[in-house]
């Protein structure tokens, strides 16, 4: 019998971490790897905004190194309120906003606040970490398989079949891992479904909450638009906890400033939980972010340059993949919509490489790494089935000038298959 907790024994490791460790080992041995696995940025390619960096340094020089308030600095919560109103057209009071060290503690705390053992949690596959958070909270997994025809998003019809008795519905748009965006119509339909379901629940029956991860909300391209559920259906404010921060939209993953906005009673419980676990953002970074979020011109200027760099990489790889597909090679791709990810299809199971049959998607992943020196993350790392042929490719560390060489190696690898 194990001496550890049931939670410790039941947790599964991250496939992304496993891949990352393998890639690091090989790079240390001198191999050239095109590492497109990590949802992060190379700060030498995509640095944080210069103004934010200066403000952080200044904040440390001002000795802002003590404990922050449990709910976050009032000046930061006020700046976040203005930021949300400007970008999402939704107003949140400062007591409806909680600051934390990025989005992860907030998402975990939201799960802990809402989900009891065996409570039904609805989420799509693929999606980032919902399977792990549900498991860690002993919730009931209610997985909706998503397909490219619907931007890898669950539809209202999908959710309607599962909504009875559910405690939490998890949505992410723009989506990690797919880089796709939920349409306005789909979001409206899902909101209407949640509102109707909650109208049916009376007495002491738990309400259904929407956990809305919008970490990539400012990184949309072309005519693609991001929609906040409360902006579309104001009545959803009572049931929505949205999570955002500076990590992705401002390339500040290591700065660790995120926020949740939601009903004051739910935010108060999240605050209490984080107060016990110490999931605060550092004081100096909070002070700096509070000032930065009020500099609209500086933010807009940064985003213009930042988004151009990301989209240039996404579009260059997308066009390269389309070219390979047009040559008859077994590969496909979804046009980039948002975020830092490209969704690529590599249906190579059943193909033969060097006389060896590729029998699993894991073997396909290893073949791409060995033959094309290309490291990308299979969708089964995001809760999809082990046989899913889809992959996430991240451009946050991508060197633009290396893309043609990567595509050539990928083409050669695909041509060698029979």
For the chain, residues with pLDDT lower than 70 are 1-2
CATH number for the domain that contains residue 235 = 3.40.640.10
Residues 166, 70 share a domain: yes
pTM above 0.85, yes or no: yes
What's the pLDDT score for residue 16? 76
Residues 395, 250 share a domain: no
Residues 353, 205 share a domain: no
- Cα dist from 39 to 35, 236, 339, 340, 389, whole Å: 11, 30, 10, 8, 20
Residues 349, 334 share a domain: yes
Tell how strand 390-394 and strand 377-378 pair up: antiparallel
Q: Which burial class, exposed, middle or buried, applies to 370 when counting CB atoms under 10 A from its CB (0-12, 13-18, 19+)? A: middle
Cis status of the peptide bond prior to 174, with omega within 30 of 0 = yes
Of 280, 295, 310, the position where a domain reaches its end is 295
Residues 345, 323 share a domain: yes
What's the pLDDT score for residue 293? 98
Q: Please give the residue range of the domain that contains residue 192.
A: 50-295
175 domain-assigned: yes
Residues 181, 107 share a domain: yes
State the total domains in the chain: 2
pLDDT tens per residue across span 291-307: 999 999 999 999 999 99
What's the pLDDT score for residue 251? 98
DSSP tally for the chain: helices H, then strands E? 14, 15
CATH number for the domain that contains residue 13 = 3.90.1150.10
pLDDT tens per residue across span 1-23: 668 988 888 887 777 777 778 88
1 domain-assigned: no
Sequence-distant (≥ 6) Cβ neighbours of residue 257 within 8 angstroms: 76, 99, 101, 102, 245, 246, 247, 281, 285, 286, 289
- Measured CA to CA, the distance from residue 139 to residue 132 in angstroms comes to 10
Residues 139, 248 share a domain: yes
Residues 281, 364 share a domain: no
Nearest to 182 by CA among 158, 142, 150, 211: 150
């Amino acid at each position: 019998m194990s001496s550890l907790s049931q939670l410790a024994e039941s947790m599964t490791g991250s496939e992304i971490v496993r891949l990352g460790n393998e890639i690091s080992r090989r790079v240390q041995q001198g191999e050239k790897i095109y590492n497109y696995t990590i949802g992060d940025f190379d700060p030498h390619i995509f640095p944080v905004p210069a103004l934010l960096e200066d403000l952080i340094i200044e904040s440390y020089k001002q000795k802002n190194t003590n404990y922050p308030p449990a709910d976050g600095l009032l000046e930061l919560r006020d700046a976040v309120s203005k930021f949300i109103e400007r970008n999402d057209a939704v107003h949140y009071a400062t007591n409806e906003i909680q600051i934390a060290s990025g989005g992860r503690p907030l998402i975990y705390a939201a799960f802990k606040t809402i989900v009891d053992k065996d409570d039904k949690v609805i989420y799509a596959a693929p999606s980032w970490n919902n399977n792990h958070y549900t498991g860690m909270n002993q919730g009931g997994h209610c997985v909706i398989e998503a397909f490219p025809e619907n931007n890898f998003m669950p539809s209202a019809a999908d959710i309607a079949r599962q909504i009875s008795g559910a405690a939490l519905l998890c949505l992410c748009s723009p989506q990690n891992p797919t880089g796709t965006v939920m349409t306005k119509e789909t979001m409206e339909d899902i909101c209407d479904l949640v509102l109707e379901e909650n109208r049916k629940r009376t007495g002491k029956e738990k309400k259904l909450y929407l956990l809305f991860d919008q970490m990539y909300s400012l990184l949309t391209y072309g005519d693609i638009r991001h929609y906040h559920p409360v902006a579309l259906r104001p009545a959803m404010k009572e049931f929505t906890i949205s999570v955002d921060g500076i990590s992705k939209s401002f390339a500040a993953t290591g700065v660790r400033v995120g926020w949740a906005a939601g009903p004051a009673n739910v935010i108060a419980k999240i605050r209490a939980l984080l107060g016990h676990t110490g999931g605060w953002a550092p004081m100096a970074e909070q002070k700096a972010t509070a000032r930065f979020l009020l500099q609209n011109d500086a933010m807009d200027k940064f985003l213009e340059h930042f988004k151009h760099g990301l989209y240039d990489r996404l579009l260059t790889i997308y066009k390269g993949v389309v070219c390979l597909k047009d040559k008859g090679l077994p590969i496909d791709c979804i046009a980039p919509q948002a975020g830092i990810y490209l969704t690529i299809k590599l249906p190579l199971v059943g193909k033969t490489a060097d006389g060896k049959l590729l029998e699993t998607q894991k073997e396909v992943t290893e073949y791409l790494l060995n033959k094309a020196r290309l490291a990308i993350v299979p969708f089964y790392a995001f809760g999809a089935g082990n046989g899913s042929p889809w992959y996430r490719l991240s451009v946050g560390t991508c060197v633009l000038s290396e893309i043609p060489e990567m595509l050539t190696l990928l083409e050669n690898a695909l041509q060698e298959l029979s």
